[in-house]
Every structure is written in structure tokens, then in C-alpha cells.
Amino acid sequence: MTDADPTLPPRLSTATFDRLNGLVTRAEDRSDDRAVTETFTGTEVSRVPECAPADVTLAVERARDAQDRWAERSVDERERVVRRFHDVVLDRQDELLDLAQLESGKSRAHAFDEVMDVTLTSRYYGYRAADVLSTERRRPAVPLLSSPAEVVRHPVGVVGIISPWNYPITLAVSDAVPALLAGNAVVLKPAETTPYTALLLVELLREAGVPRDLVQVVTGDGATLGPPLVDDVDYVSFTGSTETGREVAAAAGRNLVDCSMELGGKNPLLVLDDADLDAAVEGAVGACFTNAGQLCIGTERVYVDESLYDEFRDRFVEAVSDLTLGTDYDYGVDVGSLASADQLETVREHVADARDRGATVHCGGEPRPDVGPYFYDPTVLTDLPVDAEAACEETFGPVVSLRPVSGEREAVDRANDTRYGLNASVWTENRERGRAVAREVEAGTVTINGGYVETWAAIDAPMGGMKESGIGRRHGPEGLLRYTESQTVAARRRAITHPVGVQDGLEARALTVALRLWRRLPFLR
């Protein structure tokens, strides 16, 4: 690739990749590296350093050395850095969008969703971290005789973040922002196929004022780098598959290290009998095919009340058939590429299994090599057996199944008939009915009359999965406090007991009377 390669976006060049390679933590100079390809074409564009366990050790050491100095800064100062990062991301978004598209194959509009997420997250925590982290007064042990307890928040130390390829902007940095605000350092291990997007984000963090060694990046094979990272850090934030999440959680547990993780989903969308069909069809298209279906909170199962099913199916299929595919580094394309040959193969296998089991393919159902090596047509299935791969396993591609249901009870039962519980969507003209149904759905987030945006973008509210879709929460105060250790500090105003315990029966009887009185006085409860 030359500095002026006409096949790439004009903002990217050999110099871009060389500059970003310099941000990778390496314990020693080595020649080992791995290819990074443009997803739209499958063409190699650069080679990124292949890190080893020794590099992870060095990264954690550097981060730990920098963390003490960072934690000494006031939270207000850390907030100012994050607010500058918000502005830098907006200023440098074109280069960031180019890299995200190049490495992941998504459309530009879907890449911009990630810019929005990072800025919303930075704005939220950049103005609220000081309040969330402030020392909190709690009720004393014994009113009048004890001082109020204080809860102090300390940073955990070094946070290890393992991020996936499907949202290389959001998932590389949106979990890092609250970790940094809490006074921690970060060691980031991005997905093998999207390292440069993560490296550019680290460059932008440094431009905003984050100290150079505070955020370290190790690139390369997850199976090689993941175990030493989990062993060395003080907290693990992981986003990825349920299977890998189990391994990460087990390793963290052995080390008595806390963790949070967003894992797989097989997310349902429920269209109740009073839904606005125009809105439901349009919303379902976005919920199912954003980022070519490679979205943890995207919809893969749609349950429609039988009174609306035929009309919904016909209109939905028509709308999906009109979606455009393309490789443009500009706005206007509806759906981009799958991220890799592996993802394409999974989609092909699920659709082939569905056909073999008698499912009907209403549109799509085929790869699109005429557009690019990993493109697949948006696909709508009906008559899908409940034990088919596309019905019960996460496809993570542009494939959705439709099924009629006889009322909201069946819709809820089918929605909950899965080992996952990440996100769900309910469509109804009656919002109170929608809220009642939402409370019955076993999912960490439920959006009424929307696919996922309203809950995902509600940064003040926690987001995460139930069942096998994860543990812990990102967003909201919870997403910041997870990166802290709480410490309780309390003081005794005067001695109220014998140094060892209750001295005699008389004292015990007096305390019994006091305890009974205590419960009956509202101002002391």
C-alpha cells in the first residue's frame, strides 16, 4: 500500500498505520506482526504488531505506575479531560469513521452511531463523575452515640478491557471513560481484526490530556493475551461471546478479581395487537439489520399478534428487500458487510439449516460476492422450527425470523424461551400496557416502540444482560461505581459497651428496651 492508495479513504495512508503502530506496548523489538485487512475487499492494508504475554506484563506495569499519579488528581480535573475528549472525537470523526469502516465493514451511518455513543458517554460522565464518586454519608450505628458512617470510593487500580470487533469505537473506549474518571489506569486488548480503531482512540485520549502511560494497548491473539491480562489486572471488563465470557469469568474468579461482561443475545421483538404497523415495520427493520445484524442488542426473533401477522410480514419483507448494500466510505448505504469469513460462514450455515428444516425464505438467503467478499443479503425467515440453529442460537448476521402468536401471553412466553436475556422490544399504542409487558420479559433492557436506541442511549440508566447474556452493568452511576472499591469509615462518639461485650444481664436488659424503643421512633429508623 502506498501513501496515496486510491482504493482507501483519503484520510488514511501508510503513515497513519505506522503512527498508530507506535502506540502498541512492546517489551522488546520483534518482527512478528499480523495482517489487518479492509473488510470491504479482503485486501491487506497494513500489519500490526503481534504482542506476547511479556508485553501484557509490561503494559500492566506501566499502567500501574501511571495510575497512582492520575488518582491523585481531583475528579474535577479528570472530568475536564473527558470533556475535551468528547470534543476531540467530534473534531477527528472522519478519520475515526474511515478506520471503523475499513476494519469492520459497516456502513458509515452505523459507524457514526458509535461516535454518538462515545460522545454521549463522555458528556454524561464528564459532568457527573464528581457527584457519583463523592463521599456519601450513611446512618450511624447508634444514633447520637455514633458518628454517621462515610462511604469513600477508591479506584480499583488497573482495569483490563477486552473489546470485540463489531463496535470497534464504542466498545474500545466507552467502558474506558468511566474507568479513567474513577481514577484507574486501563490496559486495552482490542479484537484482532480492529486494532487500528482502538489505537486511534487512544491517540485521541492522549490529545485530550490523558497521561501517556495511563492507557496501554496490546494487540494480537486473544487466546494468547487474554489469560495474562486477566491474571495481572485488578478488574476485567469484557464484551463478547457467552462461551468466552465463561472462561474470562472463571479466570477472574480464581484471582478474586471482579468483572463485568456483556455477552450474547437472541433478542425478541413483540408486536402486540394494538401496535402501529407503520412504526413497527420501520422500527423492526432498524432493530434487525443495523450493522448487518452484528449487534449484541439487535433483534433476531419477531413475534407478531396473529391479527396483524400477514400484513406485518408482507410490509416487512418489502421494506427489507429495498435495503441497499454497499462499500462506500460515505453516507447513503443502508447495510454494510459482515466482518469476516467466519461470520459469513455462520450465517450461511444457519440459513441452510433453516431451509433444510422447512423454513420459508421470503427475501435474501444468499451471499453477495458481487458487492464484497463477506456481504450477505438481508434475510427474512418464516415457519422456522423452534429447535433450528437460527431460532435458538445467536446468528449475529442479517437474518431474522417471524412467527405469529395468539396474544401477549404467548408472545412473552416465546420471548423468554431462550438462555439469553440481553434486550427486547415491545410495540403497542398503549404505553402502560407496554410497560406491563416489558416487566414480564426476561431481558436487561426493554424498549417500548423502539428497537434498542431508547434504552442504549439512556446513559443515565444501567444496561446489561440477564441469564447467559452477562453480569454487571455499564452506563449510569452503576457503570462508574463498578470500577471502585467502597470503603466504610465510622467513628464512635463515646464508649457505650464493655470493651469485650455486654457486661451483665442488667446492661442486656437495658439494651433490649433501647432496641424496642428505637424501632418505634421513626426519626431513628
> Annotated active-site positions, please?
262, 296
Q: What residues contact 518, with CB distance under 8 A and at least 6 apart? A: 143, 524, 525
Cα within 13 Å of Cα(467), Cβ side: 16
Count, in order, helices (H) and strands (E) of the chain.
19, 20
Task: Using DSSP, state whether 236 is helix, strand or coil.
Answer: strand
Cβ-count burial 328-357 (b if 16+ within 10 Å, e if not): ebeeebbbbbbbbeebbebbbebbebbeee
Check: CB of residue 259 under 8 Å from CB of residue 248: yes
165-to-171, 197, 246 alpha-carbon distances in Å: 8, 10, 19
User: Cβ distance 445 to 454 under 8 Å?
Assistant: no
Q: Which residues contact 428 (CB under 8 A, 6 or more apart)?
A: 272, 274, 275, 434, 437, 448, 449
What cell was used for 373?
467478499
CA-nearest of 2, 1, 49 to 28 is 49
- The grid cell for 90 is 467530534
User: Running DSSP on this structure, what letter comes out for residue 367?
Assistant: B
Burial of 383 (0-12, 13-18, 19+ CB in 10 A): middle
**CA-to-CA distance for 329 and 218, rounded, in angstroms?**
28
| Crossing angle for the helix pair 14-21 and 195-208, to the nearest 10 degrees | 70
- Distance (Å, whole) CA 190 – CA 162: 6
| Residues 360, 267: Cα–Cα separation, whole Å | 21
DSSP, residue by residue, 72-97: HS-HHHHHHHHHHHHHHHHHTHHHHH
Strands (E), 292-359: 299-305
CA dist., res. 72 & res. 125, Å (int) = 19
Determine the Cα–Cα distance for residues 338 and 331; give it in Å rounded to an integer. Answer: 18
